[in-house]
Structure 1
């Protein structure tokens, strides 16, 4: 390109704002063009081809004029040339492209505030859901592996250490087997019948003595010359299979025994290939030596065959074992791809799956005996870490003792929580992804650094009231009930029941993220602006202000929150004892994410793995504690010092300990800070135990004041050391655990088979990032964005034809009423305190006025009338509708008439004599023209506009 004619177009791309276009949100990208070779049509077409519009939409192009400060629109080549001439010096043009329907008037851009995304990969990128978005998100920091802020020179410890094949650390876990089974079923399930008999023999030979001599050879291309030795018969067979795959041929087995092996080329009859081999054991009856291999191969290649005889499950097991140790989430599809990349052969998924199962069994042991091995794990934990709690529960099903649930709490974790952590527990559960699809429940705390602190965990089959109550009882047995204990959970009914029954005295918080996820039927700007703001409000005044805005805009939404979300979810009502200000349950989610790669392990391996991870974490944090000097953690002081800069606050002292702090800049909010009590009227200092910005402004205005003297001791170095003071003991591998004499064998739990493919990841919530689905296509006009019964462009005859076939569209019934308010007697002790609802008072006033307007005479007449009608209805058996005291009588008579006519139509009877005789209202009566229904029922004005009968 010519530098004089080259321009950079910084294009800000917009969707159609009137159609709420979400597949193209506001973003920007750069485009380099040559002005001498570009016209208006080519420029627009290049943009449309890259980001296609909707049906019938056209593109509108504007640019920013730096001189006139306006946004002219470009519609022709002349205007495009004029745009380039105005930017000939800078060579940079800020352009705006928007799609709009031609039937609607285009509203040009008058001003622009850039909040666009930069350089999208494609138009289908993941988007933030606009539903109930958090406009001012706060980072509720939870640290997991942040010890390097103090241990800069020390490398991060690796949990997996490469060793010999049988001593490799079990770092990762097997993938969900249901995933593999679904992949396997799509492949050819038929295996070579000639391999089955051989593999039965190989299964026995692969468990020979481990004292075989070590003989080195190239395992990628093992030699098969005469006199070559191999440690045992099993390894010789693996080497022969690898030799055949490497040299692209297949062999058939003529004789396979524990001490001798004889095979020949599988194309001996077709290609007259003379290759054959014979091997047998030596004098030690273990080492195998190739006795005869006289000829080479003359046959064609078998590399491209879909079924290879020699790539059996034992060969696959040996070659995928290393990959499964590094990443056991690999399924048969991924392993199949890796085998093809490394060895150039394509194996069907079923055989790869069988080889994977065999490798996992060699790495992690047998699944059936893993549950009974939990008693050995219990014995090992209790012997090397006295005071730890391991409780295993079982039950009898069909005369078999089967596993039910387990609870594990290490003694150092319990003591560290009670001595060095804040009294706060995040309780949650996550699904296991192994063969046993149980639930892993956990209780996680937080230390002075706001780092994740695992306390205890348990496994049970499903989330029920019984299981969660049992788990919470075990938690109480482990930690007791510390002063100010606060428990945060989601809105699940079983876990909330367990907390309520076992810890009735504890403060029970509800995760705000789960509350918003359940808040599906109510949405709009008022909730975007005020729902999260109400949760983040430190002060009750700010909370009530946001609550009132939602209550006025949508009374049904606030009534829903009053009834179903009574646990604490706003900071304005949090207790000041636990010193934790989290409004979400991210702490528990961090633990679930921390152990997610190990959830498919057998339970004995899983708990041993998590114990090892905790041991590594404790060791690193203990090293951090040794390096710290002073009163408060340096990271906390550093963060508070950063907050003291650029505070736009005015401090007016009342005394040495009390002052008024006013926010400058027009807000006018004023807060009272008391240094002696460590309080501020904004309540942030009391809830988080860290000085708020008002307190920091007052502290830094004093001469001899230090911030560390006003920070709670939960953030002290001594508390941090106490949390990690005890050692997590090291343990031997599970083969050396003591054999438990519990008197029975505990069988695995009965597995529940469910339809469909099991998920290995949780479903994303409504406010999380997820890919947009396709839009609805109208079958009449073939346009997107509306249903057939709302089509305005289609032929009415086509709509009528579809209506006759499908019927009218169904309408959703409303299930929430605005007048529902929970009874205060049923509310828990630690429930939310909501401001009085403003939407309920007018309804009450109307009812009272209406009731007072009814005189005593009219009431008695109505009661007598009702009794007579009930008596007639019971004798005749008619379906006359019941009338309420405040219901207009004409409406009741109308319902009764309709019901009787329908009944008569079915039975073929006349019911005219059953209708009550009602006097007619004169046509000139004022009742015929009024709409009011608030007057006396005895008045003619009580009648409707229609000429109906009126009961006097």
Structure 2
């Protein structure tokens, strides 16, 4: 989709370039078919002889790469230009007043008011790095800066209140000023929506795009837009090649994080909690995992993928945690929602000898695989299971 706007000069009866909006159909379809409803917004200056602003909307793909959706050239950042940009973005993506969509921004001039007018039902987050830069000008860095970041990373309200109390012990006025200027609902994970399944507190994805097109921003407008088009086209081709080389249905980044969670999950203690699921203890923290509702009292399962406490509960319930990772974390399935023809085997599928091994084993060492299998079999009460494990361990050796 292209939108070109001219402004007619009253005195000379001439037309002057005003702004231009670009959103390619392929990018629009890619976002709507497989990416999480999370969009970062930002504006950056043009560096050439022609001055102006480049407004950008970008998302995240399954490999945590920025995914540009739309961009526009305007004379300056105002409520008028942001309203114009968001109106066209809503039309391109069929956002329906922003229902179910989360936006992240640096609180640019005019953007907050434009979002409220054009997309009133959308959620709006503030970049914590931008909050830090403004807030620390008055209160300094040091320990207060650390407490700010710890507050933003809290996933449930009790944890947030604890860190806020520690900040108040350092400087009570600084904590009050933080909440008065920046509502916690816009920058703390404990208050984030649970629809977009993205718990980012920084707007790095759009800032990365701005830096990626830095050389193009020194060129004239037409040449700049052409360079951006070619760069985006080339990038998408490279990312597609990477996805086709995946050995499984999940991205390497997803599996790497998942395996780290598995190691932590082995240190958790799991208690059966009736119909509600399981209670998981790790250190001084205790959380309840409800497998049926796919929820945990730590809220991490609501905000993103299953975390260590959720993983422990799933294994205790004889459920493969890989089956609870959202489909948008799968590369080949996120394209049109196509399903694979063969289901893979996991550790808890020991009775299904005809199934192929799970891609999980490709990322685990022999010792990690044996330890995870031992943890699984330790929850079995049957002596036959324990005997089978000993035989299996001898075969591995």
TM over 0.5, shorter chain: yes
Tell me the distance in 1 between the aligned counterparts of 2:114 and 2:27: 22
Q: Per the alignment, in what secondary structure is the counterpart of residue 115 of structure 2? A: helix
Partner secondary structure for residue 596 of structure 1: coil
Q: 2:273 maps to what in 1?
A: 654
Contact 2:61 2:67 in 1 (8 A): yes
Contact persistence 1:432–1:439 (CA under 8 A): yes
Counterparts of residues 891-902 of structure 1 (less than 5 Å):
none
C-alpha distance after superposition, 1:278-308 (max 9, x if no partner): xxxxxxxxxxxxxxxxxxxxxxxxxxxxxxx
| Rounded Cα–Cα distance in structure 1 between residues aligned with 2:81 and 2:122 | 20
Does 1:614 pair with 2:226? no
Q: Which residue of structure 1 lines up, in the alignment, with residue 302 of structure 2? A: 686
Contact 1:491 1:515 in 2 (8 A): no
- Following superposition, the deviation at residue 430 of structure 1 comes to 0.7
C-alpha change, 1:590 and 1:654, in structure 2 (3 Å) is same
- Number of the residue aligned with 2:126: 510
Distance 2:175 2:8 in 1: 45
Report what 2:83 is aligned to. Answer: 469
| Residues 1:600 and 1:397: Cα distance change in structure 2 (over 3 Å) | farther
Question: Is residue 140 of structure 2 the alignment partner of residue 537 of structure 1?
Answer: no
Residue 408 (structure 1) aligned with residue 22 (structure 2): yes
Contact 1:675 1:710 in 2 (8 A): no
Tell me the matched-pair count: 331
CA distance in 2, matches of 1:462, 1:416: 29
Deviation (angstroms), 1:586? 0.5
Would you say the 8 A contact 2:20–2:74 is kept in 1?
Answer: yes
> Which residue does the alignment assign to 1:601?
219
In the alignment, the residues of structure 2 paired with residue 524 and residue 610 of structure 1 have an alpha-carbon distance, to the nearest angstrom, of 37
Match of 2:113 among 497, 509, 513: 497
1:514 to partner: Cα distance: 0.6
CA distance in 1, matches of 2:257, 2:181: 38
Describe the superposition over 1:730-769 as per-residue Cα deviations: whole angstroms up to 9, x where unpaired.
xxxxxxxxxxxxxxxxxxxxxxxxxxxxxxxxxxxxxxxx
> What is the rounded CA distance, in whole Å, between the counterparts of 1:718 and 1:676 in structure 2?
26
Q: Is contact 2:167-2:175 (8 Å) kept?
A: yes
User: For 2:153 and 2:180, how far apart are their aligned partners in 1?
Assistant: 21
Taking the TM superposition and a 5 Å limit, the aligned residue runs for 1:198-597 are 388-396=1-9, 398-399=11-12, 400-481=14-95, 483-519=99-135, 520-523=137-140, 526-551=143-168, 553-566=170-183, 568-597=186-215
The structural deviation recorded for 1:655 is: 4.1
Asked which structure has the greater CA Rg, the reply is 1
C-alpha contact (below 8 Å) 2:243/2:251 kept by paired residues: no
Per-residue CA distance 1:251-270 (angstroms, 9 max, x = gap): xxxxxxxxxxxxxxxxxxxx
Identify if the C-alpha distance between structure 1 residues 657 and 556 changes in structure 2 by more than 3 Å, giving closer, same or farther: closer
| Unaligned 5+ runs, structure 2 | 338-397
CA RMSD of the aligned region, Å? 2.2
Q: Does 1:712 align with 2:326?
A: yes
- Tell me what 2:394 maps to: none
Structure 1 partner of 2:314: 699
> Is the contact between residue 33 and residue 335 of structure 2 (CA under 8 Å) also seen in structure 1?
no
Cα pair 1:657 1:674 within 8 Å, conserved = yes
Cα distance in 2 between the residues matched to 1:501 and 1:551: 36
Distance 1:514 1:529, change over 3 A: closer
- Cα deviations by residue, 1:491-548 (Å, 9 ceiling, x for unpaired): 2331222212211110000000010111111136551342111101011111111223
Inter-partner Cα distance in structure 2 for 1:488 and 1:437: 25
Contact 1:637 1:708 in 2 (8 A): no
Residue 701 (structure 1) shift: 4.2
Q: 1: CA distance between counterparts of 2:58 and 2:333?
A: 17
Give the Cα–Cα distance (whole angstroms) in 2 for the partners of residues 631 and 483 of structure 1. Answer: 30
Distance 1:524 1:439, change over 3 A: closer
Post-superposition Cα deviations, 1:698-751, rounded to whole Å, max 9, x if no partner, equal: 23445x43221111112123444349xxxxxxxxxxxxxxxxxxxxxxxxxxxx
The 3-state SS of whatever aligns with 1:437 is coil
* CA spacing shift, 1:645–1:595, aligned 2, 3 Å: same
Measure how far apart 1:471 and its partner are.
1.3
Q: Give secondary structure in 1 for the equivalent of 2:150.
A: helix
Offset at residue 485 of structure 1 (A):
0.2
Partner of 2:263: 645
- Note closer, same or farther for the CA distance 1:442–1:397 as it changes in structure 2 (3 Å cut): farther
Point out which structure has higher relative CO (alpha carbons under 8 A, 6+ apart): 2
2:389 matched residue in structure 1: none
